[in-house]
Structure 1
Amino acid sequence: MDQPIGVIDSGVGGLTVAKEIMRQLPKEKIIYVGDTKRCPYGPRKEEEVLQYTWEMAHYLLKHHHIKMLVIACNTATAIALDEIKATLDIPVIGVIQPGARTAIKVTNNQHIGVIGTINTIKSEAYKEALLSLKAGLTVQSLACPLLVPFVESGTFLDQTAEAVVKDSLEPMKETGIDTLILGCTHYPILKEPIQRFMGSDVSIISSGDETAREASTILSYKGLLNTSKETPVHTFYTTGQQQNFQNIARDWFGYLPGKVETVSLEHIYQQ
């Protein structure tokens, strides 16, 4: 099945998930859409997030005939996953359940922290996912609205990351957590300064690894894995500034793993 996997995000954050899918499923072709023009989704109205997520999904279905959709954005997962999953006839996975499962495996003191966008934290999607998997956990949640715009700007490449991370995570520092879920796919790009600030005794969890594993399991079960011997050619679409997206992608992957193009999504899908 040589159809591609579609990966969507509010911007560059989903590259952290795409990278892990490419590592675990090297034969699979990725078509990525990052809505950098309208990023961040975190503070937006829920109906806007739902509309934008549908626009990305509809574009991939119509123009690239994807066989699976990965919603690699925590805000979009929290708000849109259930509706899109119930509507489409292809597998659709998000990043919240995989992240929650990983955190439960790792924690020793059953005290888990979650950082995310305003909408993700407000939805309590992680708290609900964690407690549905294991009762009795203590869950601390913190919205960090400064981090996504910081990553999207590309300035995370300099040392100001330390200051922004400190300002954002200060309330989480003395809570007693031993595990911290990066509840936004942009945050792993800042994993090193986050780890330094929180200390080596706190395990930092990003959902890319577990999400890729789930994608692999589902594709295998449904007989949808790509068996072609050809090397896949990936394509990355951004709705915003192409050069900035390219720079961040190159820094995150260590190389540019495919072509980067600009796409317009506004009004491509109307509910």
Structure 2
Amino acid sequence: MQRPIGVFDSGVGGLTVARAIIDQLPAESITYIGDTANGPYGPRAQDEVRHLALDVLDTLVAQGVKMLVIACNTATAAVHDLAVERYERGMGIPVVAVIEPAVRAAVAQSRSGRIGVIATAGTIGSGAYQRAFAEAGVPHIAAAAAPRFVEFVESGVTTGDEVLEAARGYLEPLLAEDPDTLVLGCTHYPLLAGAIGYVAGADVRLVSSAEETAADVYRILSDRGMLAPTTAAPAYEFEATTEAQEPFLRLARRFLGPEVTHVEFHQTGVIHLPGRTD
């Protein structure tokens, strides 16, 4: 099935998920929408996030995607169950989100059962990770909100003293509970993995929701016979909801690397990228 996979995030963080999908499923086309006009979602109320997320997901469905990937932890916490009911059960469009794959990976990797999660204030406050871990047999996790991490990544700042200072402030109370595994519960955070890993220490394993989500995408498409032919030439279309494209483009190049070989700007705010040429 050659229709694209629809990937949605509140901004650029979900590009880590797009990158992982491209790596694991090189024949698949992707249509990505970053809601840069309204992101970040972390400080917003759950009802507001739900409304914004459904608007974007409806847009992706209207564009003919074969699967929906909610590549935003805050949106996942707010809208996942409703999205499954609306799109998967109602329309036959599979829905994949970032929380459950990360939880499964963390449980599998943890040696002691002591697990930490850092995410946006909205995600932590929703209790979504706490519930998911409880259902997986882990009744207690160490959880901390790290809101400035999103600001750093959105502005292209991923190293330096300010990042390290923020990382220490967020992580030190969490590390006092001695976790051996730390979930990066926001798709922006892998871009700060160097600083986070340095502060957390070599004995703490970092789990990225991006890689685990891409693995779920692969499994579901394969199980349902929906994979694109291996000979397919993929097309990548990335959309933002603001007209100011340069910050998005700059970060897209950092997230996606060689896939951004040519860019066309449109007044609609749509960025078209060609498929692989390698």
TM exceeding 0.5? yes
Residue 255 of structure 1, CA deviation = 2.8
Provide structure 2 residue ranges, at least 5 long, that are not aligned to the other structure.
271-278
Residue 248 of structure 1, CA deviation = 1.0
| Equivalence for 1:17 | 17
SS of the aligned residue for 2:52 comes to helix
Q: Aligned letter for 2:221? A: L
The one of 205, 230, 233 equivalent to 1:231 is: 233
Percent sequence identity over matched residues? 41
How many residues were matched structurally? 263
| Residues 1:124 and 2:127 aligned together | yes
Residue 124 of structure 1, CA deviation = 1.2
Distance 2:241 2:160 in 1: 25
Counterparts of 1:1-271 in structure 2, within 5 Å, are: 1-62=1-62, 64-88=63-87, 89=91, 90-135=93-138, 137-156=139-158, 160-227=162-229, 229-240=231-242, 241-257=244-260, 259=263, 263=268
CA deviation profile, 1:18-72 (whole Å, cap 9, x unmatched)? 111111111000111111221110110111101111111111111x200000000
Q: Aligned letter for 1:202? A: V
Distance 1:206 1:261 in 2: 31
SS of the aligned residue for 2:158 comes to helix
Distance 1:158 1:19 in 2: 24
Q: Aligned letter for 1:43? A: P
Deviates more, 1:109-118 or 1:229-238: 229-238
Provide structure 1 residue ranges, at least 5 long, that are not aligned to the other structure.
266-271
Q: 1:175 to 1:260 in 2, by over 3 A?
A: farther
Q: Aligned letter for 1:226? A: A
Residue 142 of structure 1, CA deviation = 0.6
Contact 2:239 2:269 in 1 (8 A): no
SS of the aligned residue for 2:32 comes to strand
| TM-score, normalization by structure 1 | 0.91
Residue 231 of structure 1, CA deviation = 2.2
Contact 2:10 2:41 in 1 (8 A): yes
| TM-score, normalization by structure 2 | 0.89
Q: Aligned letter for 1:111? A: R
